[in-house]
């Protein structure tokens, strides 16, 4: 007869215990893996957001640091026929609410300062950004001469009040035409400054006296020898009525010994836009708009942007720090000494604990603005 032999194996209880331990280890490993992935995602999002903010800050810093370069000290009176605009393009779309030039210190309207503070008007169409803390978003416009395309190679004559004839001084000098790569285009601004000999001493025994300084917007370039400045331009700069228009430049340029200098003026505006695509509201983004050209996006997911200004009080001769609305406080934008920038960005992933918000702040000295001697016994020693 066959005899049966017992075989060693696992009992049901042992299998249950071993399975429980194995599942516990697997769950612990999965939890650690999930936590690691979430941490990696957060770090990646913060790095991308910070990189986005830094790119925006660096571009704004460059434009603001150039504010006032090539402009008359203290600013420039624009046409007196009507208020001019900034932050608008050739389609007639204006992106900055209330984007008109303010009054001068004497109360004259339509005065161009090198920096145009835009307190609480920093979002196109006054759109609401729910994630923005305090809902205070401001814009800023920095104005300076662009020397990347020098116009000293050309002479300008004015056959009419709405056009200019251009001639090359030396054809061998580059650029040798106004339509060269990177050259002029419709929507650009030109600053014409006409000076004539006056009394005094200069390098040749006489001094130059500025007779006219006028800003005009290009509305057409039919060829490389003609620039048109028709009325009805997008920025409302080309007026034939009133004063401080091309008629003043033409009259001054016709004077004996008159010298005309021209530069392309960059009026660079920064604002926030909340785009809508297919009826769906998209994430807000920072936009950069130059002169009368179409704005371009600079950085995505920028939910808040604020500026404060360190301004010289022209009466006391002291610095008023962190002024949010210098014009509203009766301060002159021409006496801004420093611009403090604060922007907040949001991560691409929103909702729950995966959303990441962070901000960057910096300050920019305005090297080309008016100078005030704070140590002078005369508290109004500003120029």
pTM of the model: 0.86
3-state secondary structure the chain: CCCCCCCCCCCHHHHHHHHHHHHHHHHHHHHHHHHHHHHHHHHHHHHHHHHHHHHHHHHHHHHHHCCCCCCCCCCEECCCCCCCECCECCCCCECCCCCECCCCCCCCCCEECCEEEECCCCEHHHCCCCCCHHHCCCEEEEEEEECCCCCCCEEEEEEECCEEEEEECCCCCCCCCCCCCCCCCCCCEEEEEEEEEECCCCCCCCEEEEEEEEEEECCEEEECCEEECCCCCCCCCCCCCCCCCHHHHHHHHCCCCCEEEEEEEEEEEEEEECCEECCEECCCEEEEEECCCCCEEEEECEEEEEEEEEEECCCCCCEEEEECCCCCCCCCHHHEEEEEEEEEEECCCCCHHHCCEEEEEEEEECCCCCCECCCCCCCCCEC
* Average pLDDT of the segment spanning 175-200: 87
Task: Report the 10 Å Cβ neighbour count for 127.
Answer: 15
- Of residues 168 and 189, the one with the higher pLDDT is 189
- 283-320 per-position pLDDT tens digit: 899 999 999 999 999 999 999 999 999 999 877 778 89
pLDDT at 273 over 60: yes
Q: Taking Cα atoms as reference points, which of 246, 242, 251, 235 lies closest to residue 80?
A: 242
Q: How confident is the model at residue 143 (pLDDT cuts 50, 70, 90)?
A: very high
pLDDT at 101 over 90: yes
Q: How confident is the model at residue 130 (pLDDT cuts 50, 70, 90)?
A: confident
- 213-268 per-position pLDDT tens digit: 999 999 999 999 999 999 999 999 998 888 888 888 888 888 878 888 999 999 99
Which tokens in the block code for residue 365? 């000295």
Note the pLDDT of residue 308: 95
Question: In the chain, where are the structural domains located?
Answer: 77-300
């Amino acid at each position: 007869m066959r005899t049966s032999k017992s075989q060693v194996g696992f009992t049901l209880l042992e299998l249950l215990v071993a399975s429980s331990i194995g599942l516990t280890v697997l769950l612990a490993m999965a939890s650690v893996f999930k936590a690691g992935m979430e941490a990696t995602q957060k770090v990646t999002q913060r790095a991308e957001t910070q990189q986005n903010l830094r790119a925006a800050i660096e571009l704004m810093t460059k434009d603001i640091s150039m504010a006032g370069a090539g402009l008359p000290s203290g600013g420039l009176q624009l046409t007196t026929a009507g208020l001019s605009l900034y932050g608008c393009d050739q389609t007639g779309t204006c992106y900055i609410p209330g984007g008109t030039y303010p009054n001068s210190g004497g109360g004259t309207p339509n005065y161009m300062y090198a920096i145009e503070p835009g307190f609480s008007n920093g979002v196109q169409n006054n759109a609401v950004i729910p994630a923005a803390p305090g809902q205070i978003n401001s814009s800023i416009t920095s104005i300076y001469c662009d020397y990347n395309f020098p116009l000293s190679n050309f002479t300008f004559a004015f056959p009419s009040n709405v056009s200019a004839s251009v001639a090359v001084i030396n054809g061998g000098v580059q650029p040798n035409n106004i339509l060269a790569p990177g050259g002029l285009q419709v929507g650009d601004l030109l600053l014409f400054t006409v000076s004539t000999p006056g009394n005094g001493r200069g390098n040749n025994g006489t001094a130059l006296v500025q007779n006219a300084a006028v800003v005009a917007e290009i509305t057409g370039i039919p060829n490389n020898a003609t620039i048109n400045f028709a009325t009805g331009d997008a920025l409302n700069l080309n007026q034939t009525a009133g004063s401080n228009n091309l008629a003043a430049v033409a009259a001054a340029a016709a004077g004996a010994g008159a010298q005309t200098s021209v530069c392309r003026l960059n009026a660079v505006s920064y604002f926030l836009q909340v785009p809508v695509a297919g009826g769906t509201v998209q994430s807000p983004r920072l936009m950069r708009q130059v002169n009368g050209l179409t704005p371009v996006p600079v950085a995505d997911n920028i939910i808040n942007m604020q500026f404060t200004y360190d301004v010289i009080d022209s009466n006391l001769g002291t610095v008023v720090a962190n002024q949010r609305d210098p014009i509203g406080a009766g301060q002159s934008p021409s006496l801004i000494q420093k611009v403090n920038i604060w922007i907040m960005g949001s991560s691409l992933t929103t909702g729950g604990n995966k959303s990441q918000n962070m901000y960057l702040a910096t300050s920019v000295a305005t090297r080309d603005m008016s100078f005030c001697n704070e140590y002078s016994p005369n508290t109004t020693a500003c120029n």
